[in-house]
Amino acid sequence: MNKQILLVSRPVGEPSDDNFRLVETPIPEPGEGQVLVRNLWLSLDPYMRGRMSDQKSYAAPQPLGQVMIGGTASEVVDSRHPGFQPGDTVVGTFGWQQYALFDGSQRGVRRVDATRVPLSAYLGAVGMPGVTAWYGLVKLIDPKPGQTVVVSAASGAVGSVVGQVARLRGARAVGIAGGAEKCRHVVETLGFDACIDHRAHADTASLASALEAACPEGIDGDFENVGGRVLDAIMRCINPFGRIAVCGMIAGYNGEPIPLADPQRILTQQLRVQGFIVGEHLDVWPEALDELGSLVATGRLVRHESVAEGLENAPAAFFGLLQGRNLGKQLVKL
C-alpha cells in the first residue's frame, strides 16, 4: 500500500495535525510511458506554509483532499519509459507520499547522481534551498570582498548556504538564529564570522545593538528569511546602497501581516529591496547547481540535516520547522 498525507483543511493561525490526514491507497501501476518511483526522502520547506492557505500569493494554493505538495528524492522501481530504469535516482515534486507515478517525458523530474553527493543533498544544498541561497546572494546581494552579509535563519537549509558561499567569496558572514545551540553550530561548524541569538534580545533596539557589535563596518547585504523585528533591526544598521534579498517572511506566515517599522530607511540609505521566488529564475539553476555540487562534493560546503523517520512523522517535523526547531535541512526519511 501507498501511505499518503492529504491536506484536508486550511489552518487558522498556526497549522495543526487537523489540517492533514494519513491515508493508504494501492500502489499505482505504471501505464505506457510512465514511471513508478519510491520516494526515499521528503523535503520539508517553509514555502509549504503558504500553499496551505488560500490567500492570493505567487503560487496557487494546495487543493484540499489531495496529496500535500513537496520535493522528493526517489528511486525508480518500475518503468515503462525508455529514459528511466529501475534503480535510477531522481528528484521531483512527488509530495508527501511513499510512491508516485510520473510521465517519463514530463519536465521537472531531474535524474541525479547519488554517487557524487548523497541523494538527500539534492533536496538541500544541491537543490532548491541551495539555489535559493545562491540566487539571492550572488545575483541580488552580490557581495564584494570585505563587505558584510547578514542572514537570518542562519542554521537552516538556505541560510547555512548563504553564509558559507558569502565567505567563500571573500565577504564577512554574520548569522542570526534562535538559540545558543544554533548559534554555536553556525559559527563552529559552518564557519560564519559571528552569529546572534535573536531570542536573547527582547526588542529591536537590543537586537540592533548586537548587530552593530557583530558588524563593525555595518551591513552591506541582508538575505532575509524572517522579517519582523529581525528585519527592523537589520535596517537600522544597514549601509548606504545596501541590498536586501527578501526570500522569506516566516514571521508573517500565520496570517497577520507584520509591518516594517521604518521604510523611510529604504530612501535615506538608498537600499534595493528585492523579493524573489527561485522557481521564477530557472535560467540560473544549472550554473548554481554546478557550483553548489562542486562545493559539496569537495567538502568545502558543510551540510547538516535534521531527519524525521517515517511519513507519519512529517506533520510534526513540519510544525517544528515553522517553529525553528530543526538544525539545517529538514528531511523526512520515508
Sites of contact with its own copies (CB under 8 A): 50, 56-58, 227, 231, 240, 246-249, 252, 257-277, 280
CA distances from 215 to 150, 171, 331 (A): 9, 12, 33
Phi first, then psi: give them for residue 175, nearest 5 degrees.
-95, 160
Query: Can you read off the three cell numbers belonging to residue 307?
Result: 531527519
b/e map 62-73, b = 16+ CB within 10 Å: beeeebbbbbbb
Minimum distance from residue 195 beta carbon to its own copies (Å): 23
| Closer CB to its own copies, 36 or 153, in the complex | 153
243 close to 142: Cβ distance less than 8 angstroms: yes
Q: How many CB atoms lie within 10 A of CB 41?
A: 23
Minimum distance from residue 266 beta carbon to its own copies (Å): 4
| Closer CB to its own copies, 49 or 198, in the complex | 49
| Closer CB to its own copies, 260 or 284, in the complex | 260
The residue assigned the cell 517525458 is 105
| Closer CB to its own copies, 261 or 297, in the complex | 261
Minimum distance from residue 250 beta carbon to its own copies (Å): 10
Minimum distance from residue 229 beta carbon to its own copies (Å): 12
| Closer CB to its own copies, 95 or 248, in the complex | 248
Question: Which amino acid makes up residue 61?
Answer: P
| Closer CB to its own copies, 6 or 133, in the complex | 133
3-state DSSP call for residue 126?
coil
Phi first, then psi: give them for residue 313, nearest 5 degrees.
-95, 5
Minimum distance from residue 50 beta carbon to its own copies (Å): 8
Question: Of 22, 17, 71, nearest to 42 (Cα)?
Answer: 71
Minimum distance from residue 61 beta carbon to its own copies (Å): 12
